[in-house]
A and B are shown apart, each in its own frame.
Chain A
Amino acid sequence: MVCIPKLRKGKIMRGLKSFLRYHILEPLKILASDKRALVGLSIVIFYVLMVAVGRLFIPLDLTPHREKRYLGPSWEHPLGTDFAGRDILAQIVHGGRDVLPVAFLTGFVTIAIGTAIGITSGYVGGKLDLAITTFIDIFLTIPGFPLLMVVAVWLLQSGIPINIFIIACVLSITAWAGLARSVRAQVLSIREEAFIEAARCLGLSRFHIVFNEILPNVMPYIAINFMLSSVSAIYSYTGLQALGLIPYEPGTWGAMISMAQAYVGTITGAGCWYVLAPSITIIVLQVGLVFLSQGIDKIFNPRLRER
């Protein structure tokens, strides 16, 4: 009995090692062998660092300086200045503080809802499955972005305080159904596999079968959907801001895009930097996420790798 703690410690170390090897190192190696996925990963890490740490180094000053409107790049202002003479680089560095949390939170909410509904539907089956699939079909047919616009107008007028979590929930309304459908299809085929039957014969609980046997097998779909719903969340979030349907703080990417659009007719001189900077910032982030999702697809689909 005395040796149990020692044995457990060894077991934990071994478990940790194999976890590191099979869940972190190996995937990273495959990811690194694909140039595009590596680029995507670096872009996403760069953005996360910029938003999390970068703003400690570059202060954001939003007081207008009329005499410095639309300056070109210089040592003082590497990306020039905007219509009120404020530094564009500082706004870019600070401007992701709402977009990135919204994107990743939307990803999480989407995969949580989608996976839960997909697994329930596929594993329980019967009348519940029929009801859920009909529901999924309906949600896949309703046009997504128009629905978001209607809900955003409602949200804006309803007096509900708008915070990041509410926005993430609204943005996942249109995203969960696709994931739920593919998870359900996967569960339906996994359910018939021999190892699930074996687990059932061993008398393992439903909880164990769902979380330890089925869930790891649908992980690839979940990971890819996390990336893709982040991409569409960034699109919808900044798009709704540009339409004035979601309020924005000054000095965010959404605010910069909206302002550039509103002032586009009056931009003079080196003002092209004010249009280019937020556009390229958002496009590069989107491209990074798409590349990364393609890379994850490759990790989990060895057939794609061999081609």
Chain B
Amino acid sequence: MTMKWIIKRTATAILTVYIVITITFFLIRLLPGSFIEMMIYYYMTQYGMSEIEAEEMVYSLYGIAPKKPVWEQYIDYICGLLRGDWGKCYITGIPVLEALFYGLPWTVFLLSISMTISFALGVGLGILMAYRRGGILDNASSVFASISRATPNFILGLLLLYFLTIYYPIFPSRGSYDISIKPGFTLEFISSVLYHSFLPIMAYVITSVGGWMLAMRGSAIRVLGEDYVIAAEARGLKSGRIARTYVGRNAILPLFASFAISLGYMFGGSVFIETYFAYNGIGHIIGLAMSWRDYPLIQGGFLLITLAVVLSNFIADLLYGKLDPRVRRGGMYS
């Protein structure tokens, strides 16, 4: 964890973000038949404008400077991003950042709960599987974990949506709360929010818990073979204490880094799950932007996810050094 390491790590992070900005800029600016051309055509046919008039109209409406060469537009775009001006949505005209931040609280609420449940459940089951390895419980759980890992979340979302909201209408199928209830800190509103979030959370947890289970199982089996665990057993420590403080704490360490990284993905939401249940989150907004071809919003969404993931990777690396003294001191016995 030297200064040199931090500098190198920061440089890579900045380079990653810069590359993503460049990719999205050029991929999307180089498209033929974009929304802008569609709008120009629309004004020409609907309002009988000449092509030049329609162009000026659309360009001023959406704040575009097409006369400049591409590299100047590119520099303008990057300067705008740094100033916090991420452009405006083509369709609605509201600033991209505002649109994204509208969905952010819902997504953070939904995914922080889902991820925590999934991680806690996966770690608990994983350590249990490691202790009973080779037994019926282990075999059954690892088959379940493989199925969970192999099931696409959009398929599980579809199944839950069909069977629990339409075939047996137990849960609401759309939205993040009942719109007839006024939002506020009332019991009614909070219970409605929880009720609406149940199926999306279930879809997320079931499809992601398997990965944590298998990772924790592997990690715990490795730790169980270590000398200090055998030594602890020989000293006659209670097995519950060995499982918690000797095996659990050491086995969970490598998983914490992945958990921190997955928290970064939280800011992108889950496009499928949120779209299927029409949940007001960021994933749903990005999904709509995709189907409307709202390029600034697509760019903004992708950039936001990348920023969050790069940042969480960075934090995960720092955290790992803090949590594991062996890494901090640089080497096991030095």
* Given the contacts A138-B15, A141-B313, A158-B32, A149 and B152 also touching, CB distance less than 8 Å: no
List, in ascending order, chain A residues with CB within 8 A of B268's CB.
143, 146
Interface size counted on chain A using CB atoms at 8 A: 46
Question: Does A157 touch B at the CB level, under 8 Å?
Answer: yes
List, in ascending order, chain A residues with CB within 8 A of B173's CB.
265
Query: In the complex the two chains form, is B32's CB within 8 Å of A142's CB?
Result: no
Question: Does A239 touch B at the CB level, under 8 Å?
Answer: yes
Most-contacted residue by chain B among A245, A257, A264, A267 (CB, 10 A): A264
With the chains together, A231 CA to B163 CA distance in Å? 26
Question: Does B73 touch A at the CB level, under 8 Å?
Answer: no
With the chains together, A261 CA to B23 CA distance in Å? 31
Please tell me the size bucket of the interface on B: 35 or more
Query: In the complex the two chains form, is B265's CB within 8 Å of A283's CB?
Result: no
Query: In the complex the two chains form, is A142's CB within 8 Å of B20's CB?
Result: yes
List, in ascending order, chain B residues with CB within 8 A of A282's CB.
152, 155
With the chains together, A245 CA to B15 CA distance in Å? 28
Question: Does B31 touch A at the CB level, under 8 Å?
Answer: yes
Query: In the complex the two chains form, is B158's CB within 8 Å of A279's CB?
Result: yes
Question: Does B291 touch A at the CB level, under 8 Å?
Answer: yes
Question: Does A294 touch B at the CB level, under 8 Å?
Answer: yes
With the chains together, A156 CA to B35 CA distance in Å? 13
User: Which of B99-107, B187-195, B247-255, B304-312 is the contact stretch?
Assistant: B304-312
A-B contact count (CB 8 A): 136
Query: In the complex the two chains form, is B167's CB within 8 Å of A272's CB?
Result: yes
Query: In the complex the two chains form, is B146's CB within 8 Å of A290's CB?
Result: yes
Interface residue SS majority, chain B: helix
Q: Shortest Cβ distance from A53 into chain B, in angstroms? A: 25
Binary B-proximity of A292-307 (CB < 8 A = 1, otherwise 0): 0010000000000001
Interface of A toward B, CB cutoff 8 Å: 36, 134, 137-138, 141-143, 145-147, 149-151, 153-154, 157-159, 231, 234-235, 238-239, 242-245, 257, 260-261, 264-265, 267, 272, 275-276, 279, 282-283, 286-287, 289-291, 294, 307
Question: What are 30 contact pairs spanning A and B, CB under 8 A?
Answer: A36-B146, A137-B16, A138-B15, A138-B16, A138-B19, A141-B309, A143-B265, A143-B302, A145-B271, A147-B23, A149-B290, A149-B302, A150-B24, A150-B28, A150-B302, A153-B290, A157-B33, A158-B30, A159-B32, A238-B152, A245-B290, A257-B154, A260-B158, A261-B276, A264-B166, A272-B163, A282-B155, A287-B150, A290-B146, A290-B150
Q: Nearest 6 pairs between A and B by C-beta?
A: A286-B150, A154-B27, A287-B150, A290-B150, A275-B162, A138-B16
Known: A150-B23, A243-B271, A307-B221. 17 other contacts (CB 8 A): A134-B15, A138-B15, A141-B309, A142-B19, A143-B306, A146-B286, A146-B301, A146-B302, A150-B298, A153-B290, A153-B298, A242-B154, A243-B287, A267-B166, A279-B159, A283-B155, A307-B134
